[in-house]
Amino acid sequence: MTQLYPLKVHRKPKTIQDRIALCIVKFMRLFADAFFKKRYGHRAVVLETVAAIPGMIAGMLRHLRSLRKIEDDHGWIKELLDEAENERMHLMTFIHIAQPSTLERLLIIAAQGIFYTLYLILYICSARTAHRLVGYLEEEAVVSYTQYLKEVEEGRMANCEIPQIARGYWNLSPTARLKDLIVVIRNDECKHRDVNHQFSDMLTIE
């Protein structure tokens, strides 16, 4: 599998909003690292349930804005809804690789309620901060999948079979295994990172 996007990208914060977004993400990272440690499969399942939220909220709000202002959205809505669907497919894939515990299922429900509400409010108040936040979240997702890949490559985690749903969605060969899957998913996260940072930059210029 080929790496399509540069891995080590960090968008330096330039405004106070950027710094706030970065601080929130770094705080969330601390919590995730402490909770999941090296259980990367479980980490992926739980965090993908959250990752699939922002694209749907942003897509919905930009859809409403387009209707309200009777203005074209220049492809943003589709990009954002595609992102939400892509994140949901990450989840539909990882659920075959790791099954969340009862505690994790409760965490997923609580996280959805909290994150959905806060992200909706944030997007209404400052869309550019909301996209920046996702840009930074995706930077962390790339780091986490790189760590996961290293565990598999160095034999500490099994390079297991992957589900059929993943082969179909990413058009992976019949011989593809977990290692190949992590690379294509990490490519997706790189794309989300770049798209969201770019959207935030475009809103800053506006």
Residues at the contact surface with Fe ion, assessed by CB under 5 A: 48, 51, 87, 90, 138, 189, 192
| Smallest distance, Fe ion to C-beta of residue 121, A | 21
What tokens were used for 162? 């992957």
Nearer to Fe ion by Cβ, of 104 and 138: the residue is 138
- CA–CA distance, 65 with 63 (Å, rounded to integer): 5
Least distance (Å) between residue 29 CB and Fe ion: 14
CA 12 to chain centre: 19
66 or 116, CB closer to Fe ion?
116
CB of 159 to Fe ion, least distance (A): 20
Distances, alpha carbon 138 to alpha carbons 177, 187, 193, in Å: 23, 11, 5
Would you give the distance in Å from CA 151 to the centre of its chain?
20
Burial call 64-76: b when 16+ CB within 10 Å, e when fewer:
eeeeeeeeebeeb
Nearer to Fe ion by C-beta: 66 or 198? 198
CB of 102 to Fe ion, least distance (A): 23
Nearer to Fe ion, 66 or 115 (CB): 115
